[in-house]
Amino acid sequence: QATLKASGNDPYPDWKAGEPVPYAALCTTFSLVEMTSKRLIILAHCSQFLQQVLRLTPDDLLPTVQLMINKLAADYEGIELGIGESLIMKAIGESTGRSLSVIKSDQHEIGDLGLVAAKSRSNQPTMFKPKALTVRGVHAGLRDIANTSGHGSQDKKIGGIKKLLSAADAATAGKGGKGVDITKDKGGPSEAKFIVRFLEGKLRLGLAERTVLVALAQAIVSHEAAVNGEKPPTPEKMAEGEGILKTVYSELPSYGEIIPAILKHGLFNLSDVCKLQPGVPLKPMLAKPTKSITEVLDRFEGKDFTCEYKYDGERAQIHYVAPNAIHKFPQTTSTLQKDSKGLSAIFSRNSEDLSKKYPDVLAKLDSWIKDDVSSFVLDCETVAWDTETKKVLPFQQLMTRKRKDVKAEDIKVKVCVYAFDLLFFNGEPCVKKSLRERRQLLHECFQPVEGEFQFAQYGNTNVLDEIQNLLEDSVKASCEGLMVKMLDTSESGYEPSKRSRNWLKVKKDYLAGVGDSLDLVVLGAYYGKGKRTSVYGAFLLAAYNPNTDTYETICNIGTGFSEANLEEIHKILTPLVIDRPKPFYSHSTVPKDQPDVWFEPRLVWEVMTADLTLSPRYQAAADEFEGTADAGKGVSLRFPRYQKTRDDKKPDEATTTRAVAEMYRKQEAVNKETAGKRGVD
Ligand code: ATP
């Protein structure tokens, strides 16, 4: 744990115990964080600030943490800002008395709306000093903006932003705030800058969400020790606290649930009071890609494992509480739909509530369970189902289903739910049980219903030929391949939110290529030629770097699209056009490499590639090659081909640049090996 040198003077002099946390104090911390790239120093600044909050105003701990992670609520609550550049520019102009054309020209020059806001605010003569912003006030203001919808909502949102900006200081007169150029990046603790960046969804502090979680754990452990009159905590005690918070958060990813519980019961009792429960979706466990069945056998050598069909549909986490058990889940069941059969909901891979998409599935839930089932959370895949041939249909069919407000009687594409895991059962989490035990419970307590509910097909074998046969059979059954999972021992527990080596995916289509498809963010486009002049003909894609919170370009793509695809994509992308690349895009600056238009980062596409190569034209994972002969080059895709749009992934859930580098290295290792076998260097 890094400790900061005592600065001698309090960086937040105006904040008194019991008073709302001044927003300026949080911005001062943000500014200190953005001045450094050292993770331990960042951690220390955050943890010190959170300790201060705990000591002076613990009631504000929740909104403080939420403002730090750039999220107003847990993902499943569906509160999202997603405010485009044009609306923010309008609000900056109106709140600072500058014309939109001046704001646009500043944006063109500076390229960061946060800095444009700070500059606009500093140029504005102030008649009277507005009441200082507080963390809870800013949080409430932002929530109001997010919750505004329907007729006239744009104007109301602009009104909300103006209200916040009018009270915001251009440069906060805190530590580091004087004498800095606020139009420069890292230009001091400006409230206006951080409000605007929050609205854009990127604080750009280099502060990962995971770091805030660790900082919170450290702050609480230190605070609890101080309150109890104990010595400062040892590194072991700190690590214990971090471990508890990480595990609890992975099973119950809601600060709204966890922070009040910590304040009431203490961190070291948290696992007893905060557990996985119906109503709070957990982030699913994910698999690592593999390039061959022999790679699977190498990885799982000597262990028992199972090969399940990898169904090609949509991930669905199904939550249920029977009427007689509702009283046992008083707080968190507000997210579940209530009817005479109990409470239920279906959540997507990224915790979005899909209940309105699948009313037909929810209506049938109770017919899948045997007696004495009072509550459960199932991990499943919903797959399009042909009621005549009684077979699974390809993924494309599922995509034709409406996403919202579906009426059961209007549904044309039926779905069958394939269950492959049981995470919670009759009041108890089961994630720590082995997969063999979880599967046994699933098969004992649920019953298949043809065309509605099935268990994922599997075979427990470690014989290469048998696995090969299973793979062929899975593909014949319209699946993507196999999911190979550890079956026994502690390694076979369910690891929420983790891409784990204990689950491997073998996708038939990718065995000859890089082992997996990539999910990439659309950043730019090129106008079409010939037949494609009215639409975009090619696109610039990027992978996500969670460490720097940037999108790093990886390829241009123009293959795999139908004419209808291109028209639809053009319609979706047109409102997302922006004047220039965002400051958090990492791309080539060579003029001939520039796309014709740039976009807000929203769309995620699944893309297939023949192989990976290094190129100075792209930036993906370039930091991994610094200091080598390939410095300045990024990984890029050769012959990329569009597969489908991933509506279930947000841009920051795209393939990470680290995963890209891993794929590249694996490919190079295999190439070397093959060359070696052929006797070539
Ligand atoms: P992909 O593009 O492969 O779906 P992903 O990043 O969404 O990638 P992965 O962990 O790579 O997720 O692959 C697992 C996905 O496969 C799950 O998210 C789930 O939707 C689907 N799936 C289908 N059948 C199974 C199964 N038997 N066990 C686990 N996941 C399955």
**Contact between residue 72 and residue 66 where contact means Cβ atoms under 8 Å apart:** yes
pLDDT digits (tens, 9 = 90+) for 27-71: 999 989 988 888 899 999 999 999 999 999 999 999 999 999 999
What SS3 class is residue 134?
strand
Residue 482 has pLDDT above 70, yes or no: yes
285: left (phi over 0), alpha (psi -120 to 50) or beta: beta
**Contact between residue 636 and residue 620 where contact means Cβ atoms under 8 Å apart:** yes
pLDDT the model gives residue 237: 96
**Which residues lie below 8 Å from residue 252, measured CB to CB, with a gap of 6+?**
258, 274, 275, 276, 277, 280, 282
- The pTM (predicted TM-score) of the whole model is 0.86
The mean pLDDT of 650-675, rounded to a whole number, is 86
DSSP 8-state symbol, 36:
-
Query: How many whole angstroms separate alpha carbon 203 and alpha carbon 200?
Result: 8
Among residues 601, 519, 614, which one has the least CA distance to residue 557? 519
pLDDT the model gives residue 340: 79
Q: State the DSSP H helix or E strand holding residue 454, giving kind and residue range, or none if neither.
A: strand 453-455
Cα 579 to its chain centre, rounded Å, is 26
What SS3 class is residue 372?
coil
Query: Which residues does ligand 1 sit against, CB inside 6 Å?
Result: 284, 286-287, 308, 310-311, 315, 349, 381, 420, 456, 483, 505, 517
- Cβ-based burial of 334 (10 A; exposed 0-12, middle 13-18, buried ≥19): exposed
Residue 233 has pLDDT above 60, yes or no: yes
Q: Which residues pair with 585 in a beta bridge?
A: 551
Atom of ligand 1 nearest to the CA of 309: 27
Query: How many whole angstroms separate alpha carbon 313 and alpha carbon 357?
Result: 14
The mean pLDDT of 541-558, rounded to a whole number, is 95
Query: How many whole angstroms separate alpha carbon 338 and alpha carbon 336?
Result: 6
Q: List phi, psi (to 5°) of 503.
A: -125, 125
pLDDT digits (tens, 9 = 90+) for 101-123: 999 999 988 888 898 988 888 77
**Contact between residue 650 and residue 350 where contact means Cβ atoms under 8 Å apart:** yes
pLDDT digits (tens, 9 = 90+) for 557-605: 999 999 899 999 999 999 999 989 999 999 999 999 999 999 999 999 9
Neighbours of 491 (CB within 10 A): 16
Atom of ligand 1 nearest to the CA of 310: 24
DSSP letters, 273-321, are H----TTSPPPPPEEEE-S-HHHHHHHTTTS-EEEEEE--SEEEEEEEE
Measure CA of the first residue to CA of the last residue in the chain; give whole Å. Answer: 46
Q: Name the band, by pLDDT with cuts 50, 70 and 90, for residue 149.
A: confident
Distance set, CA 80 to CA 77, 329, 449 (Å): 9, 26, 37
Query: How many whole angstroms separate alpha carbon 92 and alpha carbon 76?
Result: 30
pLDDT the model gives residue 516: 82
What SS3 class is residue 557?
strand
**Which residues lie below 8 Å from residue 662, measured CB to CB, with a gap of 6+?**
none
Query: How many whole angstroms separate alpha carbon 333 and alpha carbon 278?
Result: 7
Ligand 1 pocket test target in 475, 505, 507, 608 with most atoms within 8 Å of CB: 505
pLDDT the model gives residue 334: 72
**Contact between residue 509 and residue 299 where contact means Cβ atoms under 8 Å apart:** no
Q: Which amino acid is at 661?
A: A
390 token code pair: 């009684």
Distance set, CA 91 to CA 162, 171, 324 (Å): 5, 19, 51
**Contact between residue 540 and residue 556 where contact means Cβ atoms under 8 Å apart:** yes
Residue 9 has pLDDT above 70, yes or no: no
Q: What is the 3-state secondary structure (H, E, C) of 167-232?
A: HCCCCCCCCCCCCCCCCCCCCCCCHHHHHHHHHHCCCCCCCCHHHHHHHHHHHHHHHHHHHCCCCC
Residue 314 CA to ligand 1 center (angstroms) comes to 9
Neighbours of 78 (CB within 10 A): 12
Annotated catalytic residue, options 90, 310, 633, 650: 310
Q: Name the band, by pLDDT with cuts 50, 70 and 90, for residue 512.
A: low
233 token code pair: 């905590």
Least confident of 42-51, 109-118, 132-141, 479-488: 109-118
pLDDT the model gives residue 15: 87
Query: How many whole angstroms separate alpha carbon 421 and alpha carbon 209?
Result: 27
The mean pLDDT of 78-105, rounded to a whole number, is 89
**Contact between residue 667 and residue 612 where contact means Cβ atoms under 8 Å apart:** yes
Query: How many whole angstroms separate alpha carbon 403 and alpha carbon 399?
Result: 9
52: left (phi over 0), alpha (psi -120 to 50) or beta: alpha
Q: Name the band, by pLDDT with cuts 50, 70 and 90, for residue 90.
A: very high
The mean pLDDT of 90-100, rounded to a whole number, is 91
Neighbours of 242 (CB within 10 A): 20
**Contact between residue 338 and residue 517 where contact means Cβ atoms under 8 Å apart:** no
* Mean pLDDT, the chain, integer: 89
143 token code pair: 């929530």
pLDDT digits (tens, 9 = 90+) for 154-183: 899 999 999 998 888 765 543 344 455 666
Residue 310 CA to ligand 1 center (angstroms) comes to 7
636 token code pair: 């890029």
Residue 606 has pLDDT above 70, yes or no: yes
Give me the residue label for tokens 């058990």: 325
Residue 504 CA to ligand 1 center (angstroms) comes to 10
Atom of ligand 1 nearest to the CA of 485: 28
pLDDT the model gives residue 14: 75
Residue 6 has pLDDT above 80, yes or no: no
Question: Percent of the chain at pLDDT above 70?
Answer: 91
CA-nearest residue for atom 25, ligand 1, is: 310
Question: Percent of the chain at pLDDT above 90?
Answer: 65
CA-nearest residue for atom 20, ligand 1, is: 315
Atom of ligand 1 nearest to the CA of 420: 27
DSSP 8-state symbol, 489:
S
pLDDT the model gives residue 260: 96
Among residues 87, 247, 92, 204, which one has the least CA distance to residue 156? 87
Among residues 503, 518, 492, 606, which one has the least CA distance to residue 288? 503
pLDDT digits (tens, 9 = 90+) for 351-407: 999 999 999 999 999 899 988 899 999 999 999 999 999 999 988 888 888 777 777
- Higher local confidence (pLDDT), 473 or 397: 473
Question: How many helical (H) and strand (E) elements, i.e. helices and strands, does the chain have?
Answer: 20, 23
**Which residues lie below 8 Å from residue 574, measured CB to CB, with a gap of 6+?**
none
Q: Name the band, by pLDDT with cuts 50, 70 and 90, for residue 437.
A: very high
**Which residues lie below 8 Å from residue 233, measured CB to CB, with a gap of 6+?**
221, 222, 225, 241
The mean pLDDT of 84-111, rounded to a whole number, is 91
CA-nearest residue for atom 11, ligand 1, is: 287
Q: Name the band, by pLDDT with cuts 50, 70 and 90, for residue 333.
A: low
DSSP 8-state symbol, 513:
T
Residue 205 CA to ligand 1 center (angstroms) comes to 32
Query: How many whole angstroms separate alpha carbon 368 and alpha carbon 320?
Result: 12
pLDDT digits (tens, 9 = 90+) for 241-278: 999 999 999 999 999 999 999 999 999 999 999 999 99
Cα 492 to its chain centre, rounded Å, is 24
Q: Which residues pair with 384 in a beta bridge?
A: 415
Q: State the DSSP H helix or E strand holding residue 539, giving kind and residue range, or none if neither.
A: strand 536-545
Farthest CA pair distance, the chain? 80
pLDDT the model gives residue 400: 81
The mean pLDDT of 87-111, rounded to a whole number, is 91
- Residue 310 annotated among the catalytic residues of the structure: yes
pLDDT the model gives residue 174: 39
b/e 587-602 (16+ beta carbons within 10 angstroms → b): bbeeeeebbebbbbbe
- Cβ-based burial of 261 (10 A; exposed 0-12, middle 13-18, buried ≥19): middle
Residue 644 CA to ligand 1 center (angstroms) comes to 15
